[in-house]
Amino acid sequence: MRRSLLSIRFTVLLAILFSALCTVATPLFAERPIPELHSRVTDEAGLLSTEAKERLEARLKALEEAKGAQLAVLTIQSLEGEILEEYSLRVAETWKLGRKDVDDGILLLVAVDDRKVRIEVGYGLEGILPDASCRRILDETILPEFRGGDFESGIEAGVERIAKTIESGELPEVEAVPVMDALMAYDGVPEGKWIAGPFSMFVIGIFTFMMIFHKEMPFGFMYPFLLIFWTVFPLVIFGFAVWKYLIGFYLIGVPILRIFAPRIPGLKRISEGVSNNVSYSGGSGWSSSSGSSGFSGGGGSFGGGGSSGSW
């Protein structure tokens, strides 16, 4: 009876810990959905008339045909709590605006309820459209129209000025983006930003401990499942310098512990205690989706260049 009660308690505890992990992961990675890229103008906020969208599509297509650069417009009703610059960069990187290795993509993003606008510039256009130039386009062309309530005119005038600036400049030579250098320089989130970070690692550690020492827990399923969390969470929370050691421990140390847990006396006692007092049951499922679009990005990259404004 006592063992049965302990099994129930441990099962409930595991369920609570898993729920806590999901709860913590949600705010850490909660992100506003990114719309699918079907055309050069995505007007979710309904700011543009049909005629204006057609004019913009024609102008942006002409720019791409003449210079190769891809300029896209996105209007949304709200950022839903996400930071403008972070969302804009996510959209640009997801859409992959601009040619691969030339990185000549531009995104004009308008968030109506937040009263914010941003010009996101690809790596290859930062020489033609530096942050200061983007700031002037916002202050002199787009924001005055927005403050007057004329979003359509502001967007069209802003697109025209951006396009002319690109057309008047020489695009840079193809240059590969040093992705690994950027990853190795990443130092984790700012101190104190994710208060729940250590708790997240504690919960992941509990599940890893159970996977190592519980005889009935399916290692073949749990190991790759937890690998996702070990790959993402430590990198986001601590940065590359710490992550490389933690992921090394998980990839090498965890399988070794799993193999020798039943063979080394001290570890064997732990394994037997866990297996006898904790009941386990689980399942899994996967789903996938795909989509298509009439217009697609060319594989360009972004690094956060550009400028933001508000009205």
Domain with CATH 3.10.310.50 in the chain: 41-177
Q: What is the pLDDT of residue 213?
A: 82
Strands 70-76 and 41-43: parallel
Determine the straight-line distance between the first and last CA of the chain, rounded to whole angstroms: 68
CATH of 41-177, one of 3.40.50.1820, 3.10.310.50, 3.40.50.300, 3.30.70.2190: 3.10.310.50
| Token digits of residue 121 | 């510039």
Reported as a pLDDT band with limits 50, 70 and 90, residue 195 is low
- pLDDT surpasses 80 at 173: no
Digit-coded pLDDT (tens) for 249-286: 889 988 888 887 777 877 777 877 776 666 554 443 33
- pLDDT surpasses 80 at 49: yes
| Token digits of residue 84 | 């403008």
Q: What is the pLDDT of residue 29?
A: 47
- pLDDT surpasses 50 at 210: yes
Q: Average pLDDT over the chain, rounded to whole?
A: 79
Local structure of 109: helix, strand or coil: strand
CB 300 within 8 A of CB 96: yes
Instruction: Report the 10 Å Cβ neighbour count for 264.
Output: 12
Q: What is the pLDDT of residue 24?
A: 46
Distances (CA, A) of 300 to 68, 98, 177, 303: 11, 4, 10, 11
Q: Give the long-range contacts of residues 19-27, CB within 8 A, separation 24 or more.
A: 20/199, 20/203, 21/200, 21/203, 21/204, 21/207, 21/229, 24/196, 24/199, 24/200, 24/203, 25/200, 27/196
Reported as a pLDDT band with limits 50, 70 and 90, residue 47 is very high
